[in-house]
Amino acid sequence: MVLKRIARLTFLATVVLSLACGSPAPKSSPMAISELVNQMRDMAWAEEVDAAQTLLQQQRGHHDQTSPEWLVAASWLGRGASFAQRWDVAEQYAREAYDGSSALLNDREVDLERQLPAALGAGIEVLGRVQDARGDRSGAVEFLRAQHETYKGTSIETRLQKNILLLSLEGQPFPVIDVEHYLGEQVLSPDSLKGKVVVAYFWAHWCPDCKQQLPILDQLYEQYGERDLAIIGPTQLYGYIARGQNATPAEELEYLRGAYQEQFPVPEWMSVPVSQQSFLDFGISTTPTLVIIDREGVVDLYNPGTLSYEELSAQVERLLAT
């Protein structure tokens, strides 16, 4: 890990020096495609857009640019540029990932290739973000909905739904949550939520970030539970239990109601509806996802990922005051 970091820093320093001196970046030797994907991913999260562009261009002649792996590398550059709000660059590489993936789908199914869904999903996601960033939110939502319809029933369906909701759910009535089963004794009643500020906490039993988020929600409920705050915790079944052991729905429910709760008990104040359909409806490809609803039942915040106590309490305090 240390050697990889040193090599990457050396590469970045070389690029910066060459650019500062007005000379082209040095040619690089062929890099394994898996290593290229990893480098592009790391640079994307670090928003090192220029260095990532240089690296990808240096590697073009060494790889099959129609392969799903190459398209994933390009999609990471598109994502990194979108994080940095470099929209022209984001569009260029998202378009490469999207067009290349679409061409491959002429003779194969999207989920038959391990890397193809990642490249295609990221390409669509970033193209939607670019359109929204340029002031055309309705066009972005229309584009994403068309893609969602095209890829319904595939592994990227939930990811596309998430991106639709990121642009369209806030300010809209909170949709009804589908329920197949419940964990614990609290049963979700729409009437019990009327007039309350609600936090919907979508979680997964295998998710480490969820285990960090729940104590924060416990603290939040302790502070605001008597002031009309309700917290619900929708989840779904994943087909496996501890240590990745395959499980039938009945076995997974038994695990969640038994052994799992011995380690991570469901709070008495939280109703936990279980449904795969609710995760599809709400685009839950990231866990946890937190949705905050005001007293009128309107979505105030749709947030894939964790939130700190300070972030949550500021939102809840504001909504309770209205």
DSSP SS3 for 271: strand
- Nearest CA to 66 out of 32, 97, 112 is that of 97
Query: Does 281 reside within a domain?
Result: yes
Indicate if 91 and 187 belong to the same structural domain: no
Indicate if 164 and 189 belong to the same structural domain: no
Indicate if 143 and 277 belong to the same structural domain: no
Query: Does 54 reside within a domain?
Result: yes
Indicate if 12 and 116 belong to the same structural domain: yes
Indicate if 206 and 111 belong to the same structural domain: no
Question: Chain-wide mean pLDDT for the chain?
Answer: 91
* Confidence bin at 20 (pLDDT 50/70/90): very low
Lowest mean pLDDT, pick from 53-67, 154-168, 171-185, 205-219: 171-185
Q: Which domain holds residue 192?
A: 181-320
Indicate if 121 and 62 belong to the same structural domain: yes
CB 94, CB 76: distance < 8 Å: no
pLDDT for residue 22: 46
Indicate if 162 and 20 belong to the same structural domain: yes
Q: Domain total for the chain?
A: 2
Query: Does 297 reside within a domain?
Result: yes
Indicate if 31 and 161 belong to the same structural domain: yes
Cα angle at 262 between 257 and 268, to 5 degrees?
65
pLDDT for residue 185: 72
Work out the average pLDDT over 202-214: 96
Lowest mean pLDDT, pick from 17-21, 133-137, 177-181, 268-272: 17-21
Backbone angles phi, psi at 189, to 5 degrees: -120, 120
Indicate if 207 and 62 belong to the same structural domain: no
Q: Which of 103, 138, 168 is the last residue of a domain?
A: 168
Q: Which of 118, 138, 168 is the last residue of a domain?
A: 168
Indicate if 132 and 186 belong to the same structural domain: no
Q: Which of 128, 147, 168 is the last residue of a domain?
A: 168
Give the CATH number of the domain where residue 258 resides: 3.40.30.10
Work out the average pLDDT over 272-292: 95
pLDDT for residue 94: 98
Query: Does 279 reside within a domain?
Result: yes
What is the separation, in whole angstroms, between the first and last Cα of the chain?
51
pLDDT digits (tens, 9 = 90+) for 103-142: 999 999 999 989 999 999 999 999 999 999 999 999 999 9
Residue 13 or 105, more confident:
105
Query: Does 53 reside within a domain?
Result: yes
Lowest mean pLDDT, pick from 10-24, 40-54, 201-215, 298-312: 10-24
Indicate if 195 and 162 belong to the same structural domain: no
Residue 1 or 171, more confident:
171
Write the secondary structure of 170-237 as one string of H (helix), E (strand) and C (coil). CCCECCCCCCCEEECCCCCCHHHHCCCEEEEEECCCCCHHHHHHHHHHHHHHHHHHHHCEEEECCECC
Indicate if 25 and 111 belong to the same structural domain: yes
CB 4, CB 42: distance < 8 Å: no
Give the CATH number of the domain where residue 62 resides: 1.25.40.10
pLDDT for residue 27: 60
Query: Does 176 reside within a domain?
Result: no
pLDDT for residue 10: 45
